[in-house]
Amino acid sequence: MEKEYTITAFSENKVGILSRVVAVFTRRHVNIESIGASVSSIKDVYKYIIVVNVSEDLVKKLVAQLDKQVDIIKSFYYENHEIVQQELALYKVPSASFLGGDKMERLVRQHDARILSIEKEYIVIEKTGLKSETEALLNDLRSHGEVFEFVRSARIAIVKPMEQLNNYLNTLKHLN
């Protein structure tokens, strides 16, 4: 049975790692729903956050394949209840949508969003939340008129248990 998993992979910051990470998924014909990269809590270690919809057996194989990559220090997978996650979405809507009443302003407040920029022709709205929350605002904005542009970031996530990479690295120190 397929479900959503968040994979975290840790590496040094070297050219070409992202392409090799993506190749692991491409070889297995797995669609990446979201991918992001950033520095981690450990100096000089980078963290990739990858979201996929696959079976548990396949996510285990993907993590094992990632771990075989030379510059990958270690990778892990998590179910949604094991992580704290967010995405950022930006919406560009016509300024005219906000004229003649406060319906759109109430809509923005109702979704716990905020207005980032007000220009003559458009307004930029920001919403941070789960994918379902950013999509709900998009659908509501569309039902009230045109949306000029929409963009959503990759998922960012922190695991609820203590970060496993620290435990893994401590285990390696004790073995040496």
pLDDT in tens, 36-72: 999 988 888 899 999 999 999 999 999 999 999 888 9
Q: Both 68 and 21 in a single domain?
A: yes
CA distance 81 to 94: 37
CATH assignment at residue 146: 3.30.70.1150
CATH assignment at residue 70: 3.30.70.260
Residue with tokens 């729903």: 33
Q: Both 168 and 147 in a single domain?
A: no
Relative to beta strand 156-159, strand 149-152 is unpaired
Rg (CA), the chain: 20
Q: Both 13 and 69 in a single domain?
A: yes
- The structure tokens listed for 152 are 């959503």
Q: Both 39 and 97 in a single domain?
A: no
CA distance 163 to 76: 10
Secondary structure in 3-state letters for 106-172:
HHHHHCCCEEEEECCCEEEEEEEECHHHHHHHHHHHHHCCCCCEEEECCCEEEECCCCHHHHHHHHH
What is the pLDDT at residue 162? 65
Say if residue 133's pLDDT is above 60: yes
Which residues form the domain of 29?
3-83+159-175
The model's pTM: 0.84
- Number of domain units in the chain: 2
Q: Both 70 and 114 in a single domain?
A: no
Q: Both 75 and 144 in a single domain?
A: no
